[in-house]
Amino acid sequence: MRALELGFSAVGIASVGPLEARLHYEAWLAAGRHGEMAYLASEKHRRRRAHPEAILRDLQAVVCVALCHDPDRDPGREGRLGRIARYAAGEDYHGVMRDKLRALQRFVRELLPGSRALWYSDTGAILERGWAERAGLGWIGKHSGLISQQFGSWFLLGELLVDRPLEPDPPLAREHCGTCARCLAACPTGAIVGPYQVDARRFSYLTIELRGPIPIELRPLVGDWIFGCDVCQEVCPWNRFAPPAREARLHARALEGWTLERFLGLDEAEFAQLFHQSPIRRAQRSGFLRNVCVALGNRGEPAAASALERALERDPEPLVRSHAAWALGEIARRVKGEEATAGARNPMLAALRRAAETDAAPEVREEARAALSMLNPDEATSFRSGSRQGTPAAPRR
């Protein structure tokens, strides 16, 4: 079929009709598990998911495609850069899928003169996994992702809505997770709250969609993931069948010379240039550097302290400065010996005290004071008593 010639890993055709996935989606919204992504709960968005004919009048068939991305880890790269979800390690998949789906769209229009076809790939109000499951591409696993017996789950989905009848493919007779619950047990933050139930607010959402601070109780659980998470897929037994990515644009970028510490020096223009063709743009500079701070804090390596001190004192975004303060506190807590509590001579503690006293943003002062109080309870007492007063100052550049 033409879809496979274009480089897609799999293709199937779904018949049009109400999807059971819609009920699951509505329950997910009702539970508030979409977090700050309010657009997902809008009337227009929900209506289109429930009635795709509102997107394409006279909808007759949904062509579903899958495109495999790299399944392999690169420990050396992750050691320098922190962990990035596999799908986001290469070029932005939206552009890759767009080019292939447009070619498939042209083919369908030539094959069926006068027909209309619209493509989507994480770009509209489409129940992607529900349509793919109906088209026989796989089944919904307990982690709520689609799993294929042939490809595992390391793939992206796309759809072509067509207003002409096409012969549908049968869905799988049953799912194949059985009694396996490895994904539930492995989720670092417990985001998979039950089989087929994911609370987006508790992991990948934190490092991608969330625009504010990461809840302090979840920061240690994020580890060194700086964009997304793959843990549930890493432990899935079906992924032992995952093939390498055929599409070179989805191969991981090397980002030679870059480290977590160097990321902290990125300004807005540099961030936009470095990630202009990457899904990482979605997190925005402030969110991405927030994630980098958390990763460095969780690694707890003293060598990262100087980069975090500069971020705490100079970054223009309070979101970054506040998480840099938390990370410095975590590193200082791990340092053994007298240096960890040695007063003003310790650069980490000195930077935290300056921020606690003079930072212009109250949330930064609060984070710095909380970090200091974890290291020495007397610090908290001194701030509460007013013995440390300073004039809030803007960060230096």
DSSP string of 261-277? HHHTT--HHHHHHHTTT
Q: Tokens at residue 283, please?
A: 């997190």
d(CA 299, CA 287): 19
pLDDT over 70 at 336, yes or no: no
Q: Tokens at residue 343, please?
A: 């007063």
- Identify the structural domains of the chain with CATH numbers, from first to last: 2-200 (no CATH), 259-397 (1.25.10)
Which pLDDT band holds residue 380 (cuts at 50, 70, 90)?
low
Could you give the C-alpha distances from 220 to 206, 225, 297, in angstroms and in order?
13, 11, 8
> Is 224 an annotated catalytic residue?
no
Range with lowest mean pLDDT among 49-53, 124-128, 285-289, 340-344: 340-344
Q: Which residue has the higher pLDDT, 387 or 123?
A: 123
pLDDT over 80 at 339, yes or no: no
Q: Which of 74, 92, 99, 122 is catalytic?
A: 122
The pLDDT assigned to 344 comes to 45
Mean pLDDT within 81-94 = 96
Q: Tokens at residue 153, please?
A: 């789950």
The pLDDT assigned to 376 comes to 84
Work out the mean pLDDT of the chain and round it to a whole number. 92
The pLDDT assigned to 381 comes to 61
Please, where are the H alpha helices in the chain? Answer: 2-5, 20-30, 43-50, 75-81, 93-111, 128-134, 182-186, 204-208, 219-222, 231-234, 260-263, 268-274, 284-299, 305-314, 318-334, 347-358, 362-375, 377-385
d(CA 234, CA 213): 27
d(CA 395, CA 397): 7
CA dihedral 381, 385, 387, 393 (to 10 degrees): 90
The pLDDT assigned to 129 comes to 97
State phi, psi for 19 to the nearest 5 degrees. Answer: -105, 140
The pLDDT assigned to 378 comes to 74
pLDDT over 80 at 352, yes or no: yes
Range with lowest mean pLDDT among 274-288, 302-316, 368-382: 368-382
Place of tokens 């580890």: 223
196-231 tens-digit pLDDT = 999 999 888 999 999 999 999 999 999 999 999 999
Q: Which of 125, 161, 121 is nearest to 43 (CA)?
A: 125
Contact by Cβ (8 Å): 129, 175: no
225-279 tens-digit pLDDT = 999 999 999 999 999 989 999 999 999 998 999 999 999 999 999 999 999 999 9
State the DSSP string of 71-82. ----HHHHHHH-
Mean pLDDT within 131-146 = 97
pLDDT over 50 at 74, yes or no: yes
For residue 36, the tally of other CB atoms under 10 A from its CB is 13
